[in-house]
Structures are given as C-alpha cells and as structure tokens.
Amino acid sequence: MSFLVRIRHLSFVAKAIPMKHQTIFWLLSIITGSLMCWTCFEGLFSPVYAAETENWKVQSMGQDIINLGLIPLYLLTAGFIRRNKWYVSLLWAGMTIYFIYTYLIYCFDIHFNHLFIFYCLIVCFHFYSLLYLMFLYWYRAIPLQVQSSPLLKQITGIYFVFISLLFYFLWLSEIVPASLHDTVPGSLQSAGLFTNPVQVLDIAFVLPGILFTGILLLRRKVPGTFFAPIVLTFLLLMEITIGGLILILWQSKMESHPGVAWFVFALAAFNLVLVLIHIKQNTSVHASKKMV
C-alpha cells in the first residue's frame, strides 16, 4: 500500500512513536537549529561576505537576520512531534523545505568561505530530518486524518495556482527578453551573480509543486489536503523573506520598491489566515474523534 493510499485510509487508533524516535528527531532539529544560529551570527559579525557585491552582501545579511527570527519557530514546531501533534508537525516540514531552499542558495551563490562545510551540513541535516519524519509517518502508520471544507480547499487551491502563475510570469518576464536579446538581467548585474539561484529553484522545483498541489485541492484530492499546510508554511516564510529583503534593500538606499513589500506582506497575512483555518479544522476533527 502506497504512502498516499495510507493517508486515505488512516484510522483514529492512536499509535505513539517510541521515545527513541522522538528523541532522535528532536536532537536533529536542535543540532540543525544551533548550526543555523552560528552561521547567521558569523555572517552578521564576521567578514564572511567580503567578496560579495554590496547588493548581494546586504541581501545575505538580511537573510541571516530573517533566519535568526525563524529558528525559534522552527524548534517550536519540531516539538509537536514529541507531543504527537501530527497535523501541526506538517508546519515543521514546510519550514524545513524553506531552510533547504535558503541554504542551497548559501551553498551555491556565496563565495567560498570557512562556513561552506556548515552550509552543506545544514542542508544535509534538514533533508534527512525531513526524510526521517516521512519514515515515521510511513513506518508507524501515524493516524493523520486530513479534513478541510470544500470552500477552504477551493480558496487554497486558487491561491496556490495564482501564486505559482504570478511568479512564473515575474521570472519569465525577466528571463525571456534577456535571452532573446542575449543580455544579462539587471538583477544579476546588481547582485554580481552568474545566474539567479531563486529562479532556478522556483522554475525547476518549487512552482511546479505549488501548482500541482493547487490543482489537487481544486479537484478535492486527499493528497492535496495533506500537502496544503506544508506548502502554505513554505509560502508564508518566503513571502516574509521577500518583503523583508525588499525593505532592507530600500533602507540601504539600493534600488527597491517598498510598495511591492507591502503587497507581499498582504499576501503573507492572507496566507497566515489560511494556515490557521487549516490547523483549526484539522485539530478540531482530531479532538472530536478522540472523544468518540
């Protein structure tokens, strides 16, 4: 029986994860969070970004500040797996994917420095922690019944399709003209990069996944409901990051548009509302089933 089929047929007979698995998972999260804290402080208070252009240096330091603000939330969500809060633990999965995305950019587009091996280790720990969580769901057949109202599925599905198409349009509107005229996009010139790592990750991996999840939700498929909180959490953190970096660039007197930041923050607020509604509907379902 496949993993997604198991999700469809889950029961509400509680199966607690053995303490050793909970401890391993928690320790992995603690180690990864500590490594991220250290690399962020190094980035902010040592000349790690000395070889970068001023634009890319400001963005990198801004990302360090944002990461430091998100690490406590990352550890908080990791704690839910120790309390068997399985639906809410999906928020941890979304945060983990976000950090994999972020630290891949550190690995590939920050000049080599003494933190390089630690960037790689952070990606490694995040990736295998995520696989470990999926193993726990699969191996222990965790009772996770995902429920969302038809209206919530529709709204979330439309939101995912809108976001994916919006960013495809933004990236292609910069890439296609530059390709046709054999020039380099202005954003690459200011950052001093060969290619934009965000565009690579978005076009190749992230946006197709968001679009596909949106289509599953619109078709009311169970896997779409399962992946919705993961995608929503990832998008929420990305929107906070994009808005924050735009404001940081603007305050640093670099070319930026603060109005765009407030639009992105508005999307983040809407996204947060969707996350909270998904959590409320699913945790209330679990609570009522346990009382039966």
Tell me the per-residue pLDDT of 175-215, one tens digit each, with 9 for 90 and over.
999 999 899 888 888 888 889 999 999 999 999 999 999 99
The range of the structural domain enclosing residue 120 comes to: 12-144
The model's pLDDT over 239-263, given as tens digits with 9 standing for 90+, comes to 999 999 999 999 988 877 889 999 9
**How many helices and strands in the chain, by DSSP H and E?**
11, 0
How many CB atoms sit inside 10 A of residue 144's CB? 17
Tell me the Cα Rg of the chain.
20
Domain boundary among 122, 144, 166: 144
- 289 located within any domain: yes
Which two tokens mark 200?
A: 């690579």
Q: CA–CA separation, 217 vs 246, rounded Å?
A: 31
Residue 128 sits in the same domain as residue 235: no
- 119 located within any domain: yes
Which pLDDT score is estimated for 12? Answer: 35
Residue 106 sits in the same domain as residue 197: no
Domain boundary among 99, 128, 144: 144
Domain boundary among 144, 159, 194: 144
Residue 136 sits in the same domain as residue 240: no
State the pLDDT confidence band at 90, using cuts at 50, 70 and 90: confident
Q: CA–CA separation, 143 vs 138, rounded Å?
A: 10
How many CB atoms sit inside 10 A of residue 238's CB? 22
Residue 115 sits in the same domain as residue 184: no
Count of the separate structural domains present in the chain: 2
- 4 located within any domain: no
**pTM of the complete model:** 0.89
Residue 177 sits in the same domain as residue 237: yes
The model's pLDDT over 32-51, given as tens digits with 9 standing for 90+, comes to 999 999 999 999 999 999 99
Q: Among residues 176, 174, 164, which one has the least CA distance to residue 203?
A: 164
Is residue 8 pLDDT above 60, yes or no?
no
Which pLDDT score is estimated for 129? Answer: 92
